[in-house]
């Protein structure tokens, strides 16, 4: 089975709206619903678990019903950090998943994840045991030396930027979260499953990413998301 964990436990502070960014309406549809629809329509996704910010569970359930997200099987409470939210999602699957099941973790605020990206992350996970969506880096990266200057750069050919979706075999994922939270490894700051896995000594395998798979962090990202939707609608009309 291939089971998706969609994390939507954050409050979206940097977006600066009065509701969590995953519930903002864009052309009359909540951001989270765009994300869920892409998982709903992918033939290899068997079930969806949503990790939801506390107090919004009924709203999420109502949207799932309204938009026909029939694969949504579980809604789990979010944690205080992204890592706590993912952990809650993973632990909830303990009596549901088999060791060899593939779990696909995705940020609920990346609504433009597409079928090709999902297919590749699943295929690579079956091949290697895990897979993280990634893209080459096209800008120059410099290390900060002091507050105003730099004397060192990282050759961009040596870099990949990693995003979600990310897929892991359930047994390894469950083992990793238990160890990480018991030993406090890779769970603080901007840690995510990918960085935690590396801190635990695991090798990660790259899957194909997409420039369209943007993360909605600020209002500018919301504008970009709207522009993508409009351009795709216009393409339909052409
Ligand atoms: N306690 C948290 C924090 C974040 N997330 C999720 O992790 C993803 C990426 O996090 P980010 O973009 O940082 O979301 P927020 O924490 O909501 O944003 P901000 O930092 O601006 O408050 C989002 O889908 C968010 O809902 C979560 O499930 N639980
Ligand atoms: C997966 C991820 O891109 C980090 O690799 C994640 O989306 C990061 O979210 P955050 O804003 O840094 O919490």
What are the tens digits of pLDDT across the range 80-125?
999 999 999 999 999 999 999 999 999 999 999 999 999 999 999 9
Q: Enumerate domains of the chain plus CATH numbers.
A: 2-237 (3.90.550.10)
Mutate-to-test residue for ligand 2 from 14, 51, 107, highest number of ligand atoms within 8 A of CB: 107
CA distances, 17 to each of 26, 27, 61, 111, 222 (Å): 13, 16, 22, 18, 11
How far, in Å, is the centroid of ligand 2 from the Cα of 236? 32
pLDDT, mean of residues 39-60:
98
Check pocket membership of 51 for ligand 1, CB cut-off 6 A: yes
> What share of residues in the chain are helix, strand, coil (percent, to 5)?
40, 25, 35
3-state secondary structure of 106: strand
Write the DSSP symbol of residue 149.
B
- Does residue 194 have its Cβ closer than 6 Å to ligand 2? yes
Question: CA geometry: angle at 49 spanning 9 and 18, to 5°?
Answer: 25
The closest of 39, 14, 33 to 216, measured between CA atoms, is 14
Q: Is the pLDDT of residue 238 over 90?
A: no
Q: Complex ipTM, two decimals? A: 0.95
Q: Is the CB of 29 under 6 A from ligand 2?
A: no
Distance 60 CA to ligand 1 centre (A): 16
Q: What is the pLDDT of residue 236?
A: 67
- How high is the pLDDT of residue 14? 96
Q: Ligand 2 centre and the CA of 74: distance in Å? A: 23
Nearest CA to ligand 2 atom 1: 163
Rounded to whole angstroms, the Cα distance separating 133 from 220 reads 23
- pLDDT for 233 equals 82
Q: 235 CA distance to ligand 2 centroid (A)?
A: 30
Given a cut of 70, whether residue 58 has pLDDT beyond it is: yes
User: What's the average model confidence in pLDDT over 134-161?
Assistant: 96
Q: At what angle do helices 57-66 and 31-40 cross, to 10 degrees?
A: 50
With the most atoms of ligand 1 within 8 angstroms of its CB, the residue from 4, 6, 8, 10 to mutate is 10
Atom number in ligand 1 closest to CA 51: 28
Decide: 165 and 118 in contact? Cβ < 8 Å. yes
CA 192 to centroid of ligand 2, rounded, Å: 6
Instruction: Name the phi and psi angles at 87, rounded to 5.
Output: -55, -45
**Which position has the higher pLDDT, 196 or 232?**
196
pLDDT of residue 237: 67
């Amino acid at each position: 089975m291939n089971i998706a964990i969609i994390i939507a436990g954050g409050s979206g502070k940097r977006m600066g709206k009065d509701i969590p960014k995953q519930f903002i309406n864009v052309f009359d549809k909540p951001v989270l619903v765009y994300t869920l629809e892409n998982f709903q329509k992918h033939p290899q996704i068997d079930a969806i678990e949503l990790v939801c910010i506390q107090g919004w569970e009924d709203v999420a359930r109502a949207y799932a019903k309204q938009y026909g997200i029939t694969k949504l099987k579980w809604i789990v409470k979010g944690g205080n950090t992204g890592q706590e939210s993912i952990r809650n999602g993973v632990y909830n699957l303990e009596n549901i998943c088999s060791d060899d099941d593939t779990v696909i973790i995705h940020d609920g605020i990346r609504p433009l994840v597409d079928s090709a990206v999902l297919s590749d992350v699943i295929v690579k996970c079956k091949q290697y045991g895990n897979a993280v969506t990634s893209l080459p880096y096209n800008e120059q990266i410099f290390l900060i030396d002091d507050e105003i200057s730099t004397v060192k750069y990282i050759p961009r050919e040596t870099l990949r930027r990693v995003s979600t979706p990310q897929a892991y075999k359930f047994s390894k994922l469950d083992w990793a979260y238990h160890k990480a939270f018991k030993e406090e490894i890779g769970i603080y700051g901007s840690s995510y499953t990918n960085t935690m896995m590396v801190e635990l000594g695991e090798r990660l395998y790259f899957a194909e990413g997409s420039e369209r798979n943007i993360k909605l962090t600020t209002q500018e990202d919301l504008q970009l998301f709207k522009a993508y939707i409009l351009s795709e609608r216009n393409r339909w009309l052409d």
